[in-house]
Structure 1
Amino acid sequence: MAKVLLDAPALGRTLSRIAHELIEGNEDLDALALVGIHTRGVPIAHRLQALVEERSGHTVELGAVDITFHRDDVLVRSGAAPLHPQPLVRGTELDFPLEGKTVVLVDDVLFTGRTIRAAIDALLEYGRPARVQLAVLVDRGHRELPIRPDYVGKNIPTSLTERVRVELDETDGGDQILLLGGDSR
């Protein structure tokens, strides 16, 4: 059974608030860059870029990062099958120098922190930003690594058997955030 946590209008308001927080939290918008983590972090970063520009008049740098080769759950050991389906390899697009930038990694759901760790590893292969921040639509808890977001759309405490699914127009044909029970897919 799926429960709608945020519908399309609420998701829009949440992104608007995060954009305001990005503007308020970063004095030098010329040094700000948004980097989406594939898959859903990329369209979220695009939306945030448009909202920041609309509200501040500054166009911030925009990029995308692929974490496939930095994940710690894709290895196959002892000839056994992988624990999870192997992710698709997508392109990293960072068409600007990272040095001196405040890079905001953008993702849909923060869970264990392992995706963010992998994204930081991938990012650092392209340069050394002045600082790295994190913006997520949903923080559902259950961290395995010491990762904390700087900008959060919604904190949703979950059980380990529940899942949070973010659906976006760009990837899923509609905007909503769902909470799925442990047996839902």
Structure 2
Amino acid sequence: MEIIPHKQVKQKIKRLAIEILEHNYDQEVIYLIGINNNGFRFAKLIQKEMQSMGSAEVRLINVRLNTARPLEEDITLSVDVDTLAGKTLILVDDVANSGRTLFYATKPLMEIVPGRLEAAVLVDRTHKMFPVNVDYVGISLATTLKQDIQVDLDDGRAFAVELN
């Protein structure tokens, strides 16, 4: 069942971009750190919106981790983590469920002291099992544990969020 159609997904991306810029109005550079595939796609869409507004430089970084077994493989960033010290970092994913993915995605960032570390998601579910706070939320949903959220952000297709 589709819960957010293409037009509303685009509106939420724009609103999140505005919120991030408003909250970080004093920053010259903002780093969006997209998690794996969908989180990175979502970060890229936010970056595009933010750049169209032109008030800050927005740099995109990819963080890769095994979400099913986060301790079995290295968690890697597409840049040297030392270059992020003292910077404004926004961790971006499509869905926050238990908070585990966001929690482990911060592991490489524990080697530095960022200026600010925040999180942005398109869909925030209410099943947090980790001490994770999401600062920028497209939509917050109370779902059952058995339900699944599917986010389609593929280029060239209609964006959608579905509840299964």
Q: TM-score, normalised by structure 1?
A: 0.79
Contact 1:53 1:60 in 2 (8 A): yes
Question: CA separation in 2, counterparts of 1:32 and 1:154?
Answer: 23
- Structure 2 residue aligned with 1:107, among 85, 88, 93? 93
Q: Which residue of structure 1 lines up, in the alignment, with residue 33 of structure 2?
A: 35
**Normalized per residue, which structure has more strand?**
2
Structure 1 runs (4+) deviating above 6 angstroms are: none
Unaligned residue ranges in structure 1 (runs of 5+): 77-86, 181-185
- Structure 1 residue aligned with 2:15, among 5, 14, 17? 17
Q: Which residue of structure 1 lines up, in the alignment, with residue 127 of structure 2?
A: 142
Deviation digits for residues 72-100 of structure 1 (CA, Å, limit 9, x no counterpart): 73678xxxxxxxxxx9x896312681012
Matched, 1:116 2:102: yes
Question: CA separation in 2, counterparts of 1:120 and 1:176?
Answer: 27
Deviation digits for residues 5-45 of structure 1 (CA, Å, limit 9, x no counterpart): 11111100000000000011102232421110002010111
Cα RMSD, aligned residues only: 2.4
Q: Which residue of structure 2 lines up, in the alignment, with residue 81 of structure 1?
A: none
Contact 1:40 1:107 in 2 (8 A): yes
Question: CA separation in 1, counterparts of 2:25 and 2:157?
Answer: 35
Matched, 1:177 2:161: yes
Unaligned residue ranges in structure 2 (runs of 5+): none
Question: CA separation in 2, counterparts of 1:19 and 1:106?
Answer: 12
Larger Rg: 1
Residues 105, 157 of structure 1: CA spacing in aligned structure 2 closer, same or farther, 3 A cutoff? same
Question: CA separation in 1, counterparts of 2:101 and 2:108?
Answer: 10
Contact 1:29 1:60 in 2 (8 A): no
Query: Percent identity, aligned pairs only?
Result: 32
Residues 158, 53 of structure 1: CA spacing in aligned structure 2 closer, same or farther, 3 A cutoff? same
Question: CA separation in 2, counterparts of 1:18 and 1:142?
Answer: 22
Contact 2:31 2:59 in 1 (8 A): yes
- Structure 2 residue aligned with 1:133, among 98, 114, 118? 118
Corresponding letter in the other structure for 1:110: A
Corresponding letter in the other structure for 2:95: V
Count the aligned residue pairs: 163
